Amino acid sequence: MANYDFDLFTIGAGSGGVRASRLAAGLGARVAIAEERYLGGTCVNVGCIPKKLLVYASEFADDFEDAGGFGWAVGERRIDWRELIARKDREIERLNGLYRRLLEAAGARIVEGHAVVVDAHTVAIEGRRYTARTLLIATGGWPWKPGIPGVENAITSNEAFHLETLPRRVLIVGGGYIAVEFAGIFKGLGAEVIQAYRGPLFLRGFDDDLRAALAAEMRVRGIDLRFDTTIVAIERGDGSLRVRLGDGQATEVDQVMLATGRIPNTGGIGLEEAGVELDRVGAIRVDPLSRSSVPSIYAIGDCTNRMNLTPVAIAEARAFVETAFRQNPTPMDYRDVPTAVFSQPSLGTVGLTEAEARERFTAIDVYRSTFRPLKHTLSGRDEKTLMKLVVDRATDRVLGCHMIGPDAGEIIQGFAVALRCNATKAQFDATVGIHPTAAEEFVTMREKD
């Protein structure tokens, strides 16, 4: 048997890489993990966590406005952007330290620097080589910028978390969850916001009713949504940016943020040279057990471009450790993974969309409810909550559960358990709701569309 320096060498200390390394080390494996940027990866540093903190900050604009309906007199409102970013940075720094302590407590060795895969069992970092029985690639994803003139004048979500000042006018390019979330963040903090997307409606892949409802609500909030719109060029002017659009028009803004997708962060680390197969976008090709074309090299998380969500990467890490270190081959189960978009209002979903269900099942029933949240009967805000259930008519099993409205992610998380357990509509109906809540609507819907 070969004598290796480690049993596992992980490249990438994001959510998936850290979880796999900790679990393997906890089983007694000799583990090293390499990171060239920051512990915690995208989620902790330039993703889920700081984004949610900025969403919280931006939501106070609505809270201040709604307070008058409940008898509160609110005085001057002003956002101190520098203070917000400083406080955010302190929290991220705390989490970076926490990740380091968790890895060290588990017995994993942290190696800082740019790692390159030399062969099936060897990694090179800063001129030094390390060997391991198993390599795990968990390098995540990176923002993609389209090749348009002046693209260097735009930022991505990475830089948006570190702007020195809050821009007064922002153009956000893209139609994914990052784009709609930052549109809400910047608008809530006081900026004028344009969101441009090349397609007819954003959030492709989500239920169509939720997509349309969110677009309507964002427009009510004053966000200028421009669908079927492309960006031709970004030109730097005197203190502003001039953006030329595909229809021949132009607009002037202070900041352009590109949220035009993310690609696997697999370049420059020696994968293809080591025999690891990549697809056309650079994602690592893996089998159901997360093993690459090189048997000793596995990959998890966004660098595989399967389902790019932090909790999924963590679940893939658990499955990998079961497979590679507990002799229990465990494929990842991607069925009924819940997700949320922290737009304003927020969106939560689990299971099949109505369109997906119609393609896969002979007959379905759809239950839909739109109502004004109780809070807004006094606040006066003209905002609606939408809830929707998609049901297989033959078995009565609930196939999809979708919501747009306050706390959508918190509510859908609970119903995700029900869908994982193959709950039926009759079981939903037999469940007593908590009153008065929005969530009770999911167990009181009786009328089919």
Active site residues: 435
Beta carbons within 8 Å of 422's beta carbon, 6+ residues apart: 397
Contact predicate 279/285, CB 8 Å: yes
Round the CA-based radius of gyration of the chain to a whole number and report it: 24
User: Phi, psi at residue 354, to the nearest 5°?
Assistant: -60, -45
Quickly count: other Cβ atoms within 10 Å of residue 300's Cβ. Answer: 32
- Cα separation, 447 vs 449, in Å, equals 7
The DSSP secondary structure of 63-109, one letter per residue, reads HHHHHGGGT---------HHHHHHHHHHHHHHHHHHHHHHHHHHTPE
- Cα separation, 151 vs 231, in Å, equals 10
- Cα separation, 315 vs 308, in Å, equals 12
HSE-up of residue 35 (Cα within 13 Å, Cβ side) = 23
How far is Cα of residue 427 from the mean position of the Cα atoms in its chain?
Answer: 31
- Going by C-alpha positions, the residue among 104, 103, 109 that lies closest to residue 6 is 109
Provide the angle, in degrees to the nearest 10, between the axes of the packed helices 15-26 and 310-325. 30
**Would you state the structure tokens that stand for residue 277, as one six-digit string?**
């197969």
CA angle centred on 423, ends 421 and 424, rounded to 5°: 160
Contact predicate 367/306, CB 8 Å: no
Contact predicate 117/11, CB 8 Å: yes
